[in-house]
């Protein structure tokens, strides 16, 4: 295991994008007006109206927290993928096929394409802005959603929630899941490369005890070049188990 001399690049080139709008995407008009999400997040509104809680995940969540990454398909965490898919299909979405870059990751297979507009101009622009949606089961990504849509206060996870879930997901992968392992490692690397908040004193206290050694190593750029290997993953898995057990004593 070695140190990082330069940070890893993704299969899809990382290009600078304007920082995400840091305003909370409100579920209601807190200034007395009716709140409306950008067209890209239309699926969130549809799920909310159907009573299904959701969280915006992966690239969009990274961008929200300051990572200068482009966003592609919209990844959403939901409590029940089949129920969420039915809502989207009733609204005109169709089951789609993953891009070649993602096809090797079966967990991303629940992709849905928004309905095509029947007219041009503004409606067509909004439809294009919606983009494809990939539904992910929240429990498999270790993120706790509110029990009801009404209890959702923010579409995005907090930074500690996002980082904790990515670490936990990475540690849970089987040896053969190399493509997903690499992608998650890239996301984790982006956080430590671009988000200053992870270096703030006391940030580690917002992470579970068992992941603080990993966090400390990333800040010091220890083992960062080996995170995409199963051997390194197992090293930190054993470290997290030991830390968790010591905390129970």
Q: What is the 3-state secondary structure (H, E, C) of the chain?
A: CCECCCCCCCCCCCCCCCCCCCCCCCCCCCCCCCCCCCHHHHHHHHHHHCCCCCEEEHHHHHHHCCCCCCCCCEEEEECCHHHHHHHHHHCCCEECCCCCCCCCCHHHCCEEECCCCCCCCHHHHHHHHHCCEEEEEHHHHCCCCCCCHHHCCCCCCCHHHHHHHHHHHHHHCCCCCHHHHHHHHHHHHHHHHHCHHHHCCCHHHHCCHHHHHHHHHHHCCECHHHCCCHHHHHHHHHHHHHHHHHHHC
Taken as a whole, the chain contains a residue count of 249
* 204 and 243, same domain (yes or no): yes
* 127 and 179, same domain (yes or no): no
Query: Is position 19 within any domain?
Result: no
How many structural domains comprise the chain? 2
* 134 and 201, same domain (yes or no): no
Contact in structure between 112 and 95 (CB atoms under 8 Å): yes
pLDDT of residue 35: 56
* 130 and 167, same domain (yes or no): no
Domain boundary residue, one of 124, 151, 178:
151
pLDDT at 1 over 60: no
pLDDT at 130 over 80: no
* 105 and 172, same domain (yes or no): no
pLDDT of residue 26: 53
* 167 and 244, same domain (yes or no): yes
Query: Is position 126 within any domain?
Result: yes
Query: Is position 227 within any domain?
Result: yes
pLDDT of residue 127: 47
pLDDT of residue 129: 65
Query: Is position 2 within any domain?
Result: no
Query: Is position 164 within any domain?
Result: yes
178 vs 123: which has the higher pLDDT: 178
12 vs 95: which has the higher pLDDT: 95
Section 131-155 average pLDDT? 96
Mean pLDDT of all residues in the chain? 84
Which of 5, 25, 27 lies closest to 189, judged by CA?
A: 5
pLDDT of residue 211: 95
pLDDT in tens, 194-226: 999 999 999 999 999 999 999 999 999 998 889
Percent of the residues in the chain that have a pLDDT greater than 70, as a whole number: 80
In which band, very low, low, confident or very high, does the pLDDT at 32 lie, cut at 50, 70 and 90? very low
* 134 and 167, same domain (yes or no): no
CA distances from 129 to 37, 43, 73, 74 (A): 12, 12, 11, 11
Section 40-46 average pLDDT? 95
Domain boundary residue, one of 91, 121, 151:
151
pLDDT of residue 30: 39
121 vs 240: which has the higher pLDDT: 240
Domain holding 122: CATH number? 3.30.460
Q: Return d(Cα 125, Cα 137) in angstroms, integer.
A: 29
pLDDT at 15 over 50: no
pLDDT of residue 120: 57
Section 96-111 average pLDDT? 92
* 133 and 181, same domain (yes or no): no
CA distances from 69 to 20, 130, 158, 176 (A): 10, 18, 18, 27
For residue 116, the cross-strand partners are none
Domain hosting residue 223, numbered range: 159-248
Please report where in the chains the tokens 């507009």 appear, as a residue.
Answer: 117
Query: Is position 213 within any domain?
Result: yes
* 169 and 123, same domain (yes or no): no
Residue 198 backbone phi and psi in degrees, to 5: -70, -15
Domain boundary residue, one of 151, 171, 187:
151
Q: Return d(Cα 39, Cα 101) in angstroms, integer.
A: 25
* 127 and 174, same domain (yes or no): no
Query: Is position 49 within any domain?
Result: yes
* 110 and 197, same domain (yes or no): no
Query: Is position 27 within any domain?
Result: no
pLDDT in tens, 63-79: 999 999 988 899 999 99
Write down the pTM of the prediction. 0.82
pLDDT at 12 over 60: no
* 190 and 174, same domain (yes or no): yes
């Amino acid at each position: 295991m070695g140190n990082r001399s330069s940070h890893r690049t993704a299969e899809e080139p990382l290009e600078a994008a304007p920082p995400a709008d840091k305003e909370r995407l409100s579920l209601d008009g807190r200034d007395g007006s009716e709140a409306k999400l950008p067209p890209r997040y239309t699926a969130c509104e549809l799920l909310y109206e159907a009573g299904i809680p959701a969280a915006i995940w992966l690239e969009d969540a990274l961008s929200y927290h300051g990572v200068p990454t482009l966003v592609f398909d919209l990844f959403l965490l939901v409590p029940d993928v089949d129920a969420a898919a039915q809502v989207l299909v009733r609204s005109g979405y169709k089951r789609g096929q993953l891009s070649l870059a993602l096809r090797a990751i079966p967990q991303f297979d629940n992709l849905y394409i928004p309905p095509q507009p029947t007219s041009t101009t503004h409606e067509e622009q909004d439809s294009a802005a919606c983009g494809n949606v990939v539904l992910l089961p929240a429990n498999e990504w270790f993120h706790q959603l509110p029990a009801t849509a009404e209890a959702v206060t923010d579409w995005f996870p907090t930074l500690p929630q996002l980082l904790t879930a990515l670490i936990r997901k990475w540690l849970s992968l089987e040896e053969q899941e190399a493509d997903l392992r690499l992608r998650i490692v890239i996301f984790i690397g982006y956080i430590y490369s671009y988000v200053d908040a992870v270096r703030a004193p006391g940030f580690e206290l917002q992470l579970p005890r068992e992941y603080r050694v990993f966090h400390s190593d990333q800040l010091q750029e220890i083992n960062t070049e080996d995170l995409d290997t199963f051997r390194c993953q197992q090293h930190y898995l054993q470290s997290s188990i030991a830390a968790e057990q010591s905390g129970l004593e």
